[in-house]
Amino acid sequence: MLATDIISKKRDGGLLTEEEINFFVSGFTRGDISDYQASSFLMASFLKGLTPKETSFLTSSMLNSGETLDLSSISGIKVDKHSTGGVGDGISLALAPLAAACGVPVPMISGRALGHTGGTLDKLESIPGFRTNMGREEFIEQIRKIGVCMIGQTAEIAPADKKLYALRDVTATVESIPLISASIMSKKLAEGADALVLDVKTGTGAFMKDKRDALRLAKAVLDIGKRARKKMTAVITDMSQPLGAAVGNAVEIEQTVEILRGKENRLTWDFVELTEVLGGWMLFLGGRAKNSVEGRAQIRQARLDGSGLKKFSEMIAAQGGDSAVCEKPGEILARARIRKILPSPWKGFVNILEARAVGMAALLLGAGRQTQKSVIDPAAGILLYKKVGDQVERGEPVAELIGSSQELLDGAENMFLSGLKIARTRPRPPRLVHQILRS
């Protein structure tokens, strides 16, 4: 069997067998199949698509490329949350410690920046000293002790996905329902959680821009979870504009600290709302609440009484980070040398604040990766002062760009403004939660 035969078969629209997919995935994982051949396979799969059966084969192959964690030594129902990716989507940063503070063990294996979307690991690593690389035993022991651990994929967990994930980011093959489904579920099945809450984004800043595609992805992932006998809930949420008021890494950590202090405002209400909605389902699936409404109330209380912030601080300290960031983030986190206020070019109401344009602007500033080897600037990012529906005067600040050079800021400014539209009448703000599905 040859890798080129498999690539050409999929290129021509053929259906791949389980044996062919296993051969390709295992060969790529071992290094026998090159990056450029894997890139060709990804593009062929992206353009021609994969059937549910092929997607199931791919998920199993990626899962079986490594080990499956055994979390049975940890008492309680272990629940994870996963987002398909968005702009300003640092929900996991607040949600994981909040759920743990409410008694649900949270084993969270997160990803890095992908395309115009941010990565939870990159955000966490903007905290000085924070370790996202951890061995299996240490990962399990931390969850047993404090109830939460947030790390990246280890060498043992779905190594095939780790390699393919990195290639997808730089080969324009991110927005594929089969590839996304297999990537999500190979990791989640391998990490050993009992239940999963999935946040499926839709809108201009999401990989699934159309609601119908988001629904297809949610159903595809739920189907994989059902066959694996995992309890799951999928929440389809809006990503037409960024969540919260910060886009980047250190800036999102600082926002998280403020939210875990119980603070919120007109710019961060959507971040808080979604944290509570997803958290409510985590507590329900984790057996800590009779329903998602009761769970949501518990999440809200943990945010307001400071127990979520305390758990966040414990997690940071346990993973080698400077937990003083929870007390004085402005002094601990990196600060960029150059800032630029963006004034509104018109008077009126913010009609569109396109999430993808904002995400691309943050990437140009250095908050994301343009190539596989790009180094992220933890201080780079964007602060939002206006969101959809807000009234604005001409010349009034709509955002602030944070970067390391004037050249980067100029490019980011053009990108940001390309996604900003001002109207004469106030638009209706987008609906945050579109649909909830359960397996």
Is the predicted pLDDT of residue 114 greater than 80, yes or no? no
Please say whether the beta carbons of 322 and 316 come within 8 A: yes
Q: What is the CATH number of the domain that holds 352?
A: 3.90.1170.30
Is the predicted pLDDT of residue 136 greater than 70, yes or no? yes
Is 178 inside a domain boundary?
no
Smallest CA-to-CA distance from 331 within 131, 129, 127 is with 127
| 318 in the same domain as 345 | no
Cα torsion angle, 201, 205, 211, 217, sign:
negative
Is 304 inside a domain boundary?
yes
Angle at 77 between CA 74 and CA 79, to 5 degrees: 105
**Catalytic residue positions, numbered:** 82, 161, 168, 183, 187
| 345 in the same domain as 305 | no
What is the percentage of the chain residues whose pLDDT exceeds 70?
A: 99
Mean pLDDT of the chain: 95
**Residues in contact with 211: Cβ distance below 8 Å, sequence separation at least 6, in sequence order:** 202, 236, 434
Q: Please tell me the predicted confidence (pLDDT) of residue 147.
A: 98
In degrees rounded to 5, what are phi and psi of residue 173? -125, 30
Q: Please tell me the predicted confidence (pLDDT) of residue 60.
A: 93
Number of domains the chain is built from: 3
Would you mind telling me the total number of residues written for the chain in this entry? 439
Q: Please tell me the predicted confidence (pLDDT) of residue 169.
A: 77
Q: And the tokens for 235?
A: 């929440």
Is the predicted pLDDT of residue 372 greater than 70, yes or no? no
Is the predicted pLDDT of residue 241 greater than 80, yes or no? yes
Amino acid at 77: I
Q: Please tell me the predicted confidence (pLDDT) of residue 368.
A: 87
Is the predicted pLDDT of residue 373 greater than 80, yes or no? no
| 404 in the same domain as 373 | yes
Residue 116 has a CB neighbour count (10 Å cut-off) of 25
Using the 3D structure, point to which of 289, 306, 329 is the last residue of a domain: 329
Global pTM reads 0.91
Using the 3D structure, point to which of 304, 329, 354 is the last residue of a domain: 329
| 361 in the same domain as 318 | no
